[in-house]
Structure 1
Amino acid sequence: MMGAALSRWTMASFAAALAFLIGALVLMVAGYGFPATDIRAPQTLVVVHMVTIGWLSLLLVGALFQFVPVLVAKPLLHEGLVLPSLLALIGGLACLLCGFLHLAAGDGAAVPLLALAAILLPAGFALALFALGATLWSARPLPLPARFVAVGLASLAAVAAFGALFSLALAGFVSVPVLLDLHAAGIPVHAAAGFGGWLTFTAIGVSYRLLPMFMLAPDHERATGRVVLYAGGGALFAAALAAPAEALFSGTQFAFLAAGILALVALAAYAADLSFFYRMRKRRVVELNSKAALGAFGGLYLSALLLLALWATGGIAAHAGALVYLVAFGWLTGLGLSQLYKIVPFLTWLECYGPVMGRKPTPRVQDLVVERRDGAWFALYFLSVLAGTAALLADMPALFRLASVATLMATLAIGAELVLVRRLVNVNTAMRLPEGATRPRLFLPRRGRTPSMGAAR
């Protein structure tokens, strides 16, 4: 950790990501998109991509720019690509969302917007992949968490390629029959590579570093971690590539069955590692971010159980929306919000108090938040997501909107707490700004030398 520079644009990525999450929840409360419309309708695509690209992908990209150097103990290479990547992603997503809106309205403005999105979004991801990939390549052989991230980044490349193809097809620019066939068959690959590869593999890899770091648990590589990597990688390959190809050419489902078995093995090994981290921690009191993460892990395992139940009953097609919702909000968003609750105070502490550490009295990282006040919001968040999932399974859109109101309230409250953290509102006045410390800006970086990550306690 010592000496790793703070990424200048991480907070901006987090702020943009939270804005897209809140916007998506507002649309869900208003009844826009699924379940009021078809799961593949343009209105639903607006909400889906606000969550998957605007919230989850911006969150992960911003976090990786900060934590990949920590994972491999190397500085981030090509740091100048970070801001162009962020701007291209936000601009490309704006074009994509506007294109979907015009597609829903049935006017011709969708064509240039979708075509521009097919350029900007892959370009933004390519810049991020180049910087992160070069950093990982320079640090070979990679530690276990970084290997998960490498698989996630490879999946992101596939997701971006298929996404560009979809945008061009919707805009009418793709007319080659083989490409149209690839587009028609590529949606399962796009979803599996996105949720299973890019988002889940990356989240698991980051969790293998963040959980031990924040709970002071042993972080040495374990055999179970390698089982998660290899079995999960096999499941990803089978689900994203082998199963669609098998269904297309033979109509059988052996690859899907193999993917399920490998995924269960990976989940069992991951559960063993999570139990190890919590049991062997040196930090006696479990902080709220680690408690809330348990809700996210519960969402992951509930998603697996729901998938098994739907597969056994033949209800995957009918209830795909509920499954995707539980994965996106119960597992991925739950983990993202829980870790932001620690990452933002941690980085804020380093930015503000790192320069005077050891020379002036400083607060602890925990002093930047008020856990007793915020625990209820995390409880409301996970309970509302469970209620929303149940409403989708029961085909009760009115109840789903009501549950979304509670999810939105909880998310707004957690977001407001992060703003208070950045403004140092919760810190005792006597210790808030000792001589030599500087109040951090809300989400834009300050000019001058980038501070380094030290040993915050």
Structure 2
Amino acid sequence: MIGAALSRWTMAYFAAALLSLLAAEIMMTVGFGFPAESVSAPDTLVLVHLVTIGWLSLVMCGALFQFVPVLTATPLHSDRLQLPALALLVAGLTALVLGFLRLDGRARFEFPFLSVAAALLGAGFALVIWNIALTLRDARPLALPAGFIGIGLAAAGAAAALGIIFALTLDGTTSSAAFVNILGRALPLHIVAGLGGWLTVTAMGVTYRLLAMFMLAPDVDGASPRATLWLAALALTLLVTGGMATVLAQRSLAPVLVSTLLVAIAALALYGRDVLRLYRSRKRRPLELNGVTAGVALVNLMLAAILCVVLTLVGRFSDYIGALVFLFGFGWLSGLMLSQMYKIVAFLTWLEVYGPVLGKTPTPRVQDLVAERPAARWFLLFFFGVWIATVALLADAGQIFRIAALAMTAVTCGIVVQMVKTRRLANVPEPRRLPGNAVPPRLLFSSTKPT
């Protein structure tokens, strides 16, 4: 990546995402939304969308703007669309939250917040998908990880389209019988397309490349990862096309969801084997912190898959869906996002500050920008908090869940402090901090050319 352009606004995406994560954790701590209220309550919808859009999606968008050009060896289609997309997504999320609060009577403004949110979020995601999709188009034929990202973008479009229909119908902007039917029956499709398609399939593609890059392992290729790619595509096709046809025909979604689950489990099994092979074939034998924590997140993904199968087999899926989604969203996705964000912040800061003077003067290593020992304790506590909170949800122990959520909030603050110190070069000894003509980085945006 030396000489490659840096994404100017990736750090701003990360900052907005971390604020959303902390807001969601504080809400869980004080008993706002699930499990204090039902999974369909407006307060729960606020909490869920702060996590899925405000936290997970913003992190993913920021990371893709930086790493899709690396994956494809092609410049990003447009550097100018990143900031407008971020503004639209943040404004849309704000309107969405106010719209849900208005459903519950907490916000008393007579304003079509949900319809405005549908327009803003639809435009924001459209800019993201357009920018990345055109970058992928210009890079054909695509490398394997980029194929996963393409599937993830399709899932993001499907999830966003369903969300727009839900918002317009709930707001009363439309009373179309077809839209009312979709609102009443297609929620599982929206959830699975978002968490399973957009976030998980995209994360699979990104981790194939990032883990290989950071662990100095050979890039994954061959029959197994390609089978994983095709199975992921098949699962998404079954979910979206089969699911929508079933919804419009007003038939049971159960066969479609079970079929999708079976294909997805097969894809995850192959993905797990591929990642295990990456760990075994790495040239950097001592694992860095992001490699260890990514491994823990992947274990949580497998635990969530096992829990999903068990709950389905015993007929208790609907009773414990909250615990399953929590483990999936925080144990797998949030754990992975935090672990890779920790490394990405260090890596991009190193490129920005020391890339221009590399070869002209001695420079610190990427690892010199971080303090792994204190950060490792924070990550360990984060995963312990997730596991305790998941068990509390399974045991219907609301008070224990809130204590675990409080611990997760404090731990997240600790991880954020570590990232800010990395960005401020606080861990680099003063004599080596800014050698030669090196320029200190800004906190929320990057210079666009490291060399």
Do they superpose with TM above 0.5?
A: yes
Tell me how far apart the structure 2 counterparts of residues 279 and 93 of structure 1 sit (CA, whole Å): 41
Tell me how far apart the structure 2 counterparts of residues 202 and 261 of structure 1 sit (CA, whole Å): 19
- Give, in angstroms, the shift of residue 402 of structure 1: 0.7
Tell me how far apart the structure 2 counterparts of residues 76 and 352 of structure 1 sit (CA, whole Å): 21
- Give, in angstroms, the shift of residue 108 of structure 1: 5.3
- Relative distance call for 1:19 and 1:413 in structure 2 (3 A) is same
Quote the residue 1:396 is aligned against: 397
Tell me how far apart the structure 1 counterparts of residues 4 and 227 of structure 2 sit (CA, whole Å): 30
- Relative distance call for 1:46 and 1:110 in structure 2 (3 A) is farther
Which amino acid is 1:92 matched to? G
Quote the residue 1:62 is aligned against: 62
- Give, in angstroms, the shift of residue 335 of structure 1: 0.3
- Relative distance call for 1:192 and 1:241 in structure 2 (3 A) is farther
Residues 67-109 of structure 1 show CA distances to partners (whole Å, capped at 9, x for unaligned) of 1101110000122111111110011111111111222226652
- Give, in angstroms, the shift of residue 266 of structure 1: 1.1
Tell me how far apart the structure 1 counterparts of residues 419 and 364 of structure 2 sit (CA, whole Å): 17
Contact 2:101–2:107 under 8 Å retained in 1: no
- Give, in angstroms, the shift of residue 444 of structure 1: 3.0
Quote the residue 1:344 is aligned against: 345
User: Is 1:298 paired with 2:294?
Assistant: no
Quote the residue 1:437 is aligned against: 438
- Relative distance call for 1:398 and 1:110 in structure 2 (3 A) is farther
Quote the residue 1:372 is aligned against: 373
Tell me how far apart the structure 2 counterparts of residues 110 and 333 of structure 1 sit (CA, whole Å): 35
1:269-418 paired onto structure 2 within 5 Å: 269-418=270-419
Matched position secondary structure for 2:443: coil
Contact 1:74–1:135 under 8 Å retained in 2: yes
Tell me how far apart the structure 2 counterparts of residues 128 and 216 of structure 1 sit (CA, whole Å): 30
Quote the residue 2:449 is aligned against: 451
Mean Cα displacement is larger for which, 43-52 or 248-257? Answer: 248-257
Tell me how far apart the structure 1 counterparts of residues 391 and 421 of structure 2 sit (CA, whole Å): 33
Mean Cα displacement is larger for which, 224-233 or 28-37? Answer: 224-233
Contact 2:3–2:355 under 8 Å retained in 1: no
Which amino acid is 1:426 matched to? N
- Relative distance call for 1:67 and 1:86 in structure 2 (3 A) is same
Tell me how far apart the structure 2 counterparts of residues 315 and 292 of structure 1 sit (CA, whole Å): 30
What is the TM-score of this pair, normalised by structure 2?
A: 0.96
Contact 2:220–2:274 under 8 Å retained in 1: no
Contact 2:352–2:446 under 8 Å retained in 1: no
- Give, in angstroms, the shift of residue 313 of structure 1: 1.1
Tell me how far apart the structure 1 counterparts of residues 240 and 387 of structure 2 sit (CA, whole Å): 27
Mean Cα displacement is larger for which, 172-181 or 412-421? Answer: 172-181
- Relative distance call for 1:257 and 1:95 in structure 2 (3 A) is closer
- Relative distance call for 1:377 and 1:307 in structure 2 (3 A) is same
Contact 1:192–1:240 under 8 Å retained in 2: no
Tell me how far apart the structure 2 counterparts of residues 110 and 24 of structure 1 sit (CA, whole Å): 26
Mean Cα displacement is larger for which, 143-152 or 221-230? Answer: 221-230
Tell me how far apart the structure 2 counterparts of residues 120 and 39 of structure 1 sit (CA, whole Å): 25
- Give, in angstroms, the shift of residue 364 of structure 1: 0.5
RMSD of aligned alpha carbons: 1.6
What is the TM-score of this pair, normalised by structure 1?
A: 0.95
Which amino acid is 1:75 matched to? P
Task: Give the percent of matched residue pairs that are identical in Structure 1 and Structure 2.
Answer: 49
- Give, in angstroms, the shift of residue 256 of structure 1: 3.2
Structure 2 residue runs of 5 or longer lacking an equivalent are: none
Contact 2:21–2:51 under 8 Å retained in 1: yes
Tell me how far apart the structure 1 counterparts of residues 368 and 288 of structure 2 sit (CA, whole Å): 12
Matched position secondary structure for 1:5: coil
Matched position secondary structure for 1:4: coil
Report how many aligned residue pairs link the two structures. Answer: 450
Quote the residue 1:109 is aligned against: 109
Tell me how far apart the structure 1 counterparts of residues 268 and 8 of structure 2 sit (CA, whole Å): 35
